[in-house]
Each structure stands twice: as structure tokens, then as C-alpha cells.
Amino acid sequence: MIILIGLPGSGKSTVGRLLARRLQLPFVDSDLAIEQRLGCSIREFFEREGEARFRDVEQAVLDELTQGPACVLSTGGGAVLRPANRQCLRERGQVFYLRSAPEEVFRRVQHDRSRPLLQVADPLQKLRELHAQRDPLYRETAHCVVETGRPSVASLVNWIAAKLELQPAPLNPAHASDASH
């Protein structure tokens, strides 16, 4: 299982779809799976039930998805907030952190109204706060950090595919710290 993590708008779904096609694996977006489970959008659920309740559902869905058949799994930006999720992702798949600067993410998502955590007065500042909070958690969870910066989506997919060819079996957790830098 190949798992993509990173800030909202870092390219997880876009890169994931192309990577899945390239590797001839199914693509699964955990946010879509969560919405199917909820029967409403994440934004609606967030507003109605709050973040803590959403994270409960997210944890259950991630646990199920990571026990399923091999796929490319794109996770929600906050999937790493719970220790149980970080452990489950890291132990059950090869985790790639699509690392993007908050300014780069803002440029991509500034007009997207479907992202509940960014519906604030200053979304760029919110992204900076999310990055400061989550970057260490993404790094802790990932086997490999992918700097998204300026490369095209195709270049990112090629880079990840090359990494996977060099390391086709799940990475050994004892050596994971070597692979993430």
C-alpha cells in the first residue's frame, strides 16, 4: 500500500490518481471514503459535529482502508494528528509526505471553499499554523519526504515511482529514518 500525506492542497489526490494509474493500482481518497460513510460533506459534518467527532470517523475509516487490498491512498491533511493514525499508516504502507510550503498551498487552494479548516479570515496564516503544527507529525509518519515545490505532477509521480522500484517491499521501520531525509 502506498500512502500520501501532507497539508490540504499539497497535491495528494492529484499525484495519487496519476501514481495509481502508473502502478496499475486502485486509487482511494480517504476523504471521499469518509464522506460516503457520513452521507454528507466533511465540511457539513465538521460544522454540525465538530472536529473531534470527525477525527473519530477518520480514524475508523483509515484503519479499515489500510487493512484493505493494495492501493494508492490519499489521506486528509489532518490524518496524522492522532498517534493511532500515524502508527497505522506507517506500519501498513509506504508513506510519502508531499511537502509543500504554506505559500505554495495557498496559491493552489485560495478559491476552494470545500476545505473547512481554511474558511477563516486569513487562510494563508492558517496554513502556516497548520504547517508548523503538522510538519513534524508528517515527518514522523513518512518513510520518504517529497518536496513538491516547482516540479510538475508528472515529475513527482516519476520520482515516487522510481523510489518504489528501488524499494519495492515495505520499508523496514528500523531503517525508516534513513529514508526520510
Annotated binding site for Mg(2+): 13
Asked whether 4 and 131 are in contact (CB, 8 A), the reply is no
Q: To 10 degrees, what angle do helices 42-49 and 51-65 make?
A: 130
Question: Which residues are part of a known binding site for substrate?
Answer: 31, 55, 77, 134
CA dist 47 → 44, 117, 180 (Å): 5, 10, 36
Start-to-end C-alpha separation, the chain: 21
Q: Cell 508513506 sits at which residue?
A: 95
User: Which residues lie closer than 8 Å to 38 by C-beta, 6 or more apart?
Assistant: 45, 57
Question: Which residues are part of a known binding site?
Answer: 9-14, 31, 55, 77, 115, 134
Alpha carbons 72 and 174: distance in angstroms, whole number: 23
Alpha carbons 48 and 36: distance in angstroms, whole number: 16
Question: Which residues are part of a known binding site for ATP?
Answer: 9-14, 115
Which backbone phi and psi does 161 adopt, to 5 degrees? -60, -40
